[in-house]
Amino acid sequence: MQQQNSPLTTLREEIATACRQVGRDPDAVTLLAVSKTRSAPELAALADQGQRDFGENYLQEALEKMAALADRELIWHFIGPIQSNKTRDIAARFHWVHSVDRLKVARRLSEQRPDGLPPLNICIQVNVDDEESKSGVPLAQVPGLVEAVAGLPNLTLRGLMAIPRADSHDGNRAAFRQLAMTLSQLRNTMPALDTLSMGMSADYRVAIEEGATVVRLGTALFGPRPTRSPGV
C-alpha cells in the first residue's frame, strides 16, 4: 500500500510546482508554519519532518512553546499585532518580526534587542487594502517608515508583509502585485530588501505567482484551528 504524503510534504510539493510554473526557484519560497493555538507536540512533529520556521501571534503562548522545543533549533517569527509592553520579550526571543507598522515599536525592538544576538529581521506590515479594522501602515506611508526603520541599529529590514482582505474577487492578486511593486520601488534605493511575506492557506499559490518569498500557512498544514479559550 502506498504511503500517503503528510500535509507538509504535500504543501512543499505544491509550492515547488507553483514556483516552477512561473519560472521561479522553489528554494526562493519559505514555508512559514503558522502555529498559533497549536501545541508543542504538533510543532515537534513538523520539526521531525524538517520544518524549521514557525510563526506565532500570541507572545505568552509562543514563549511556552519555545521553552518546550528549546533543543530543536527552530526559527521563530512573530506575525501578530505588537503591543508596546511586549516588545522586550519579542526582541529577545524571536528571529523575525513581520508585523512592524509603527516607528515607536521598531525603536523599542532595536533598543531591547540583547547584546550578542544578531540583528532582528524585520518586515513592515502594509495595510494594502486600507481596511480600518486591520493593522498595517498605509501604502502612502511605507517609504517614510522604511527609511526610518532601516536606520535603526540591531534591526535588519528585510521587506514587506501584508494580509489582504479575505473577500477578494481575484484571489488577492491585485493586492499581492501592489505589494510586490512597492518592494521593487524600494529596492531602487535599498537593494538588500529581499522579502515579501504574503499569501496564506487560501491564496498562497497566487502569492507565489506574484513574487512571495514567505508564505504563511496554518490551516493547510494543521487543519482547522481549534477555538481559543476566552482571555488566552
Q: Which CATH superfamily is domain 7-222 in?
A: Alanine racemase (3.20.20.10)
pLDDT at 220: 94
Residue 208 three-state SS = helix
pTM of the predicted structure, to 2 decimals: 0.94
159 - beta bridge partners?
123, 195
pLDDT at 226: 62
Alpha carbon 181 to its chain's center: 18
Report the 10 Å Cβ neighbour count for 223. Answer: 10
Report the 10 Å Cβ neighbour count for 95. Answer: 14
Q: Whole-angstrom Cα distance, residue 62 to residue 77?
A: 10
Domain ranges (residues) in the chain: 7-222
Q: Which residues of the chain have pLDDT under 50?
A: 1-2, 230-232
| Pick from 32, 20, 27: nearest CA to 215 | 32
pLDDT at 170: 84
pLDDT at 1: 43
Angle of the 142-150 helix axis to the 173-186 helix axis, nearest 10: 50
